[in-house]
Amino acid sequence: MTKITPQPGILDIAPYVGGASHVAGQTDVVKLSSNENPFGPSEAAVEAFRRAAFDLHRYPSTDHAALRKAIAEVHGLEASRIICGVGSDEILHLLCQAYAGPGDEVIHTEHGFAIYRIGALAAGATPVEVPEKDRTTDVDAILAACTKATKLVFIANPNNPTGTMIGADEVQRLADGIPDTALLVLDGAYAEYVEGFDGGAALVDQRDNVVMTRTFSKIYGLGGLRVGWGYAPDHVIDVLNRIRGPFNLSGPALAAAEAAVKDQPWVEKCRADNTRLRAWLADSLAAHGVPSDPSETNFILARFDSADEAAACNDYLLSQGLIVRMVAGYNLPECLRITVGDEASCRRVAYAIGQFKGGAR
Ligand SMILES: *Cc1c(COP(=O)(O)O)cnc(C)c1O
């Protein structure tokens, strides 16, 4: 037996499992398991990425000034309070590393994103899981779970994998009610799908205990690039920049993300298509006896009569070359999370679920 062991907590982490992308024996596969943008990124982002190939011998910028300026202009934010990371995952990990350690508690909700628990355990802290109410963040339950040891409270708003969100009043009440030694982290990975929503940026501006995280992986269609960002009070930005790797983002990633954020017409087009196709998909599934909560994101959480039925439907969809996401690991065994794809994919998955419900197995 080796005497070399990792820090406490690390072996409690169940390795993250991403959405599948292949089905054995199937060639015409539709991947609806990772909430990717079916239309891909802005053409301007692809072009910037290509151009960046000519500078691969150069180290990238360490302060990400150009990307932060572009984000700040688009969103009306203070560039000095923006930090960029290798996906928003890196920002979430940096927050855990900086603010939570052994003996500290990190709150997440029962259907919350897996990275919150992983980040807490990786930092040696204790993750605390709080119930939701009808698959929606329950502010009272979170406040009741807070203790003197609470250092971080993570919510995604809108949430993954439920697709639901809570209003600005509730978020404000949460920020007001947590201990004054804790930070509230608002994960806005899906904020762009909600017309006119600032992701909580205004709250960050008003307070010293709220952080917002955002990503280029979802509506921007750049999941393969790994770029995310955070907006936080000055004191938090100062702390995170001390532990962030100076060259965490590559030159091509910085260039493509900057071009992407400047192409807001593309974002608006993708948002409009998603809203339309999401409504069609939810209505179609409901007509087949598969309800879902009103979703504010680019996926719907389809509810089946039982965990067995959800698993059987997942198998049937795979046999038809359709990959969706089982979410039993998020305490939702009777549900399947289905990304809103392009129109053909939505039709294909709705048709297959109709066949399944009609007796096809
Ligand atoms: C997809 C997603 C992210 C984004 O992760 P990246 O590291 O930026 O790709 C963050 N939070 C939630 C809830 C997500 O669903």
Whose Cα sits closest to atom 10 in ligand 1? 189
| Residues contacting ligand 1 via CB (< 6 Å) | 35, 87-89, 113, 156, 160, 187, 189, 215, 217-218, 223, 228
**Position in ligand 1 atom list of the atom nearest CA 88:** 8
| Alpha carbon of 313 to ligand 1 centroid (Å) | 26
| Alpha carbon of 89 to ligand 1 centroid (Å) | 6
Task: Encode burial over 134-150: b for 16+ CB neighbours within 10 A, e otherwise.
Answer: ebbbbbeebbebbeebb
Does residue 5 sit in helix, strand or coil? Answer: coil
User: Hey, how many other C-beta atoms are within 10 angstroms of the C-beta on 271?
Assistant: 16
**Test site for ligand 1: of 89, 214, 229, most ligand atoms within 8 A of the Cβ:** 89
**Test site for ligand 1: of 186, 217, 248, 339, most ligand atoms within 8 A of the Cβ:** 217
DSSP secondary-structure letter at 60?
Answer: P
Please give the distance of CA 182 from its chain centroid, rounded to a whole number: 22
| Alpha carbon of 114 to ligand 1 centroid (Å) | 10
Q: What pLDDT is stored for residue 311 in this prediction?
A: 98
Q: What pLDDT is stored for residue 89 in this prediction?
A: 98
Backbone torsions φ then ψ of 169, nearest 5 degrees: -65, -40
Contact 228, 216 (CB under 8 A): yes
User: Hey, how many other C-beta atoms are within 10 angstroms of the C-beta on 107?
Assistant: 28
Q: By 3-state DSSP, what share of the chain in percent is helix, strand and coil, each rounded to 5?
A: 45, 15, 40
How far is CA 37 from each of CA 32, 57, 112, 306, 349, rounded to the nearest angstrom? Answer: 10, 31, 21, 29, 16
- pLDDT tens track for 118-163: 999 999 999 999 999 999 999 999 999 999 999 999 999 999 999 9
**Test site for ligand 1: of 93, 94, 113, 118, most ligand atoms within 8 A of the Cβ:** 113
Residue 172: pLDDT band by 50, 70, 90 thresholds? very high
Backbone torsions φ then ψ of 336, nearest 5 degrees: -125, 135
Distance from C-alpha of 178 to C-alpha of 181, rounded to nearest angstrom: 8
Contact 162, 156 (CB under 8 A): no
pLDDT exceeds 90 at position 23: no
Residue 359: pLDDT band by 50, 70, 90 thresholds? confident
Backbone torsions φ then ψ of 62, nearest 5 degrees: -95, -20
Beta strand ranges found along the chain (DSSP E): 30-31, 82-85, 105-109, 126-130, 150-156, 183-187, 210-215, 228-231, 299-303, 322-323, 325-326, 335-339
How far is CA 35 from each of CA 5, 48, 218, 234, 293, rounded to the nearest angstrom? Answer: 36, 24, 7, 32, 17
| Alpha carbon of 3 to ligand 1 centroid (Å) | 36
Q: Which residue has the tokens 């509506």?
A: 219
Q: Dig out the tokens for 168 from the structure.
A: 């600005």
Does residue 202 sit in helix, strand or coil? Answer: helix
Q: What pLDDT is stored for residue 27 in this prediction?
A: 82
DSSP secondary-structure letter at 13?
Answer: P
Q: Dig out the tokens for 197 from the structure.
A: 């929503």
Q: For each of the domains in the chain, give its residue range(s) and CATH number, in order of start.
A: 18-40+265-357 (3.90.1150.10), 43-262 (3.40.640.10)
CB neighbour list of residue 261: distance below 8 Å, 6 or more residues apart: 67, 70, 71, 74, 216, 220
10-24, 116-130, 214-228: range with lowest mean pLDDT: 10-24
Amino acid at 160: N
Contact 352, 315 (CB under 8 A): no
- pLDDT tens track for 307-352: 999 999 999 999 999 999 999 999 999 999 999 999 999 999 999 9
**Position in ligand 1 atom list of the atom nearest CA 90:** 7
pLDDT exceeds 90 at position 28: no
Distance from C-alpha of 237 to C-alpha of 234, rounded to nearest angstrom: 5
Distance from C-alpha of 286 to C-alpha of 94, rounded to nearest angstrom: 41
pLDDT exceeds 90 at position 18: no
| Alpha carbon of 233 to ligand 1 centroid (Å) | 21
Distance from C-alpha of 154 to C-alpha of 174, rounded to nearest angstrom: 11
Whose Cα sits closest to atom 2 in ligand 1? 189
| Alpha carbon of 258 to ligand 1 centroid (Å) | 19
CB neighbour list of residue 272: distance below 8 Å, 6 or more residues apart: none
